[in-house]
Chains A and B, each alone.
Chain A
Amino acid sequence: MSFLALRGVGYTFPGWPAVVQGVDWTVGEGEFHCLVGRSGCGKTTLLKLAAGLLHPDQGRITFQDAELTAPGPGLGFVFQSPTLLEWCRVIDNVLLPVSLQRRPDPRAADRAQWLLGQLGLAAHARHYPRQLSGGQQSRVALARALILEPALLLLDEPFAALDAITREELQDDLLHMSRERGTTVLFVTHDIAEAVYLADRVAVMDGGRIVEQVGIDLPRPRSAATRTSEAFVRRCAQVRAAMHMDLVAA
């Protein structure tokens, strides 16, 4: 069962050393995978390859058993910054993916409103993005990525700029929304605790390669108790070791 499969994938920006090389990675349907690594290790590039925004120089990428050639409605993407259109109301931002395909019908509008409600933003639908806090803007970006009910959700450090409390709330929101629909998720982060808390499987990237995979068998649903459990701490230590962070700490 390979929902999303990368085989021998390599990518090079012209005139630079390879950013991504020899990556083999499969994500099963409904799984939640995290990709961790230091800045500049090629994780964002790998995510853009998986999104079809970039095309690999080597290897191939298949999505739902077909070659991935271009981004499509089956994919949702959340960027590092919320990238909302500040001249559009929140509800119109959420409906953007729909309105680029067709005129949004009342059903789509209802779904947008429901998503906003799930994320605690029901009262802000008629506001403009500038009127929201950073965490609220990130939630709107998440709702926008979910409006077309994508089978695969790709996130590129979406919560990196938020404070710790908001970040944990958003992690729970993301888990709740994606587990409920069985959405497959590929999540890029540099935060080890975030990766372990969210994922079924964590891939550690270094120098454009996946150097280690750690299966996370913590029980679901995960909650605040998970974060303090011994198993959680052990998994974090495992990922730290894979990133050679114990050397830095010593």
Chain B
Amino acid sequence: MNDDSLRLRLGSLLLLAVLLLAWEAASRFLGLSALVLPAPSVVLRSLWNGLASGYFWPHIRSTAAELGLGLAAGCVVGFAAGVAMAESRLLRGLLMPYVVVSQVIPKLALMPLFIVWFGFGMTSTVVITALICFFPLMENTLTALRQVPPERLELFRMLGASRAQTLWRLKLPSGLPGILAGLRVAVVLALVGAVVGEFIGASKGLGALVIASQGTMDTPLMFAVLVLIAVLGMLVYQATLALERWLLLPYTRIS
């Protein structure tokens, strides 16, 4: 890391500290009710209590599990569908209109239906998360596999490569950056899917906890849970970035 980016990082940390202090000061001296805007110190206490007493952990586990399962299922199916549609003109022509239609339906609007189908709880949330992850992966895989430079395809034809070899050794590696960009989008959307799914369809998980804190008018708890959601999102996103950087190492190394 060079000097400039280090200074920038320090700067944004400083900005955070200033904002938190201003917030703390505002809620102390303006006499805002903790119901509307609890001071950071109050939120922190609530966060600490929840973590120390073990109250948060089952909810974190539940949301993380839904996120992981939904992400995995959605990405695997989306990737497979993308590959199948890129390779088969027939499938592409047949399924593309349905894909477009299902793209424009807000997926979260289907949650009540899923509760009817899969019941109240984890399954519904996993399904909605998977559904949300499906599209970016499928779209990006489809696009990436169809954008292989024609000269490389000719090279593989020239070398007598089979269709499977062309897919595995040319199209997938050359589409990998695009596919991983799709994964990055999917990860962010998956958290939205899991949390909002829990708003409606679960009694466990961080989303359900937000709704519960709304019901008991415990705004500091709500803020604490939002912090947890943000941290979870950051962790998953950073992990995806690290995975991407590692997989793309040969593509980006220039010296």
Contacts and interface: CB of A to CB of B under 8 A. Distances in A.
Interface of A: 48, 51, 53, 70-73, 75, 77, 79-81, 83, 85-89, 96-97, 100-101, 128, 130-131
B253 to A, nearest CB: 5
B154 interface: yes
Given A77-B158, A100-B160, A85 B173 contact: yes
Contacts of A130: 251-254
Given A79-B155, A83-B152, A100 B251 contact: no
Contact of A53 (B158, B170, B176, B251): B158
Contacts of A80: 151
A138 B77 CA distance: 40
Contact of B250 (A83, A87, A101): A87
B251 A87 contact: yes
Given A77-B155, A81-B151, A131 B161 contact: no
B173 A83 contact: no
Contacts of A48: 154
Most chain B CB inside 10 Å of its own CB: which residue of A53, A75, A80, A87? A87
Nearest to B166: A100
Contacts of B152: 83, 85
B219 to A, nearest CB: 50
A81 B158 CA distance: 15
A100 B166 CA distance: 9
Interface in B240-255: 250-255
Contacts of A88: 250
Nearest to B161: A100
B33 interface: no
Nearest to B247: A87
B250 A79 contact: no
Interface of B: 149, 151-152, 154-161, 165, 169-170, 173-174, 176, 250-255
Nearest to B254: A130
Contact of B176 (A77, A87, A89, A101): A87
A37 to B, nearest CB: 20
Given A51-B158, A77-B155, 20 more contacts: A53-B154, A53-B157, A71-B157, A71-B158, A80-B151, A83-B155, A85-B152, A85-B169, A85-B170, A86-B250, A87-B173, A87-B250, A97-B159, A100-B160, A100-B169, A128-B250, A130-B251, A130-B252, A130-B253, A131-B254
Contact of A96 (B149, B159, B176, B253): B159
A4 B205 CA distance: 72
Most chain A CB inside 10 Å of its own CB: which residue of B169, B250, B255? B250
Contacts of A83: 149, 151-152, 155
Contacts of B173: 85, 87
Nearest to A82: B151
A131 to B, nearest CB: 6
A63 to B, nearest CB: 14
Contacts of B156: 100
Contacts of A131: 253-255
Nearest to B165: A100
15 contacts: A51-B158, A73-B160, A77-B155, A77-B158, A79-B151, A81-B151, A85-B170, A85-B173, A87-B250, A97-B159, A100-B159, A130-B251, A130-B252, A130-B253, A131-B254
Nearest to A72: B160
Nearest to B255: A131
A131 B254 CA distance: 4
A79 B251 CA distance: 21
Contacts of B165: 100
Nearest 6 CB-CB pairs, A to B? A71-B158, A87-B250, A87-B173, A77-B158, A100-B161, A83-B151
Contacts of A128: 250, 253
Most chain B CB inside 10 Å of its own CB: which residue of A81, A83, A97? A83
A141 B197 CA distance: 52
B145 to A, nearest CB: 15
A89 B161 CA distance: 19
A73 B158 CA distance: 8
Contacts of B155: 77, 79, 83
